[in-house]
């Protein structure tokens, strides 16, 4: 593998990891979440950073596959990718920092719509890139359940 290709792959993976890390930093004290009434199926707090790290790595790999593509639609697909990262970044801040649970839920629904659009566009270019995003979509659907239940219970 050429050095440039390795660098591009590393950058592609670091971008979503940086988005997630900065979002967590700006979200403030997430330990307050443990003090809320938890919905059924709520996983232990230690699981969240592990899952998100895996998902961010998969996102980076997926975006790299699209970036390396020669398909003329790749710029449009990567624009949707960037937009969903923006929505991803702010969800934690809305939920944890400001405790705007209902607003965060609707923000998360918008994120899920963007993820579906991104998956569709990625699939049209390179199906494996779309498949790598499926765990992210499923986790965000689960997060939507947790989010709305936290709003209802608290």
Q: Is the pLDDT assigned to residue 16 strictly greater than 70?
A: yes
Rounded average pLDDT over 84-100: 97
Mean predicted lDDT score pLDDT of the chain: 95
**Residue numbers of the domain that contains 46:** 3-153
The CA dihedral of 141, 56, 38, 93, to the nearest 10 degrees, is -100
User: What is the pLDDT, as a whole number, of residue 1?
Assistant: 59
Domain with 110 in it: what CATH number? 1.20.1260.100
User: What is the pLDDT, as a whole number, of residue 110?
Assistant: 98
Total domains present in the chain: 1
Rounded average pLDDT over 75-89: 98
User: What is the pLDDT, as a whole number, of residue 141?
Assistant: 98
Q: Is the pLDDT assigned to residue 34 strictly greater than 90?
A: no
């Amino acid at each position: 593998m050429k050095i440039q290709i390795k660098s591009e792959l590393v950058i592609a993976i670091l971008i979503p990891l940086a988005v997630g890390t900065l979002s967590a930093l700006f979200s403030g004290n997430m330990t307050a979440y443990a003090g809320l009434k938890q919905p059924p199926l709520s996983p232990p707090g230690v699981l969240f950073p592990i899952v998100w790290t895996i998902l961010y790595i998969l996102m980076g790999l997926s975006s790299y596959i699209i970036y390396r593509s020669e398909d003329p639609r790749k710029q449009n697909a990567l624009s949707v990718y960037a937009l969903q990262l923006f929505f991803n970044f702010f969800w934690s801040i809305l939920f944890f920092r400001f405790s705007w649970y209902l607003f965060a839920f609707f923000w998360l629904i918008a994120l899920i719509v963007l993820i579906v659009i991104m998956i569709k566009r990625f699939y049209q270019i390179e199906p494996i890139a779309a498949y790598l995003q499926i765990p992210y979509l499923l986790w965000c659907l689960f997060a939507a359940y947790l989010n709305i239940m936290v709003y209802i219970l608290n």
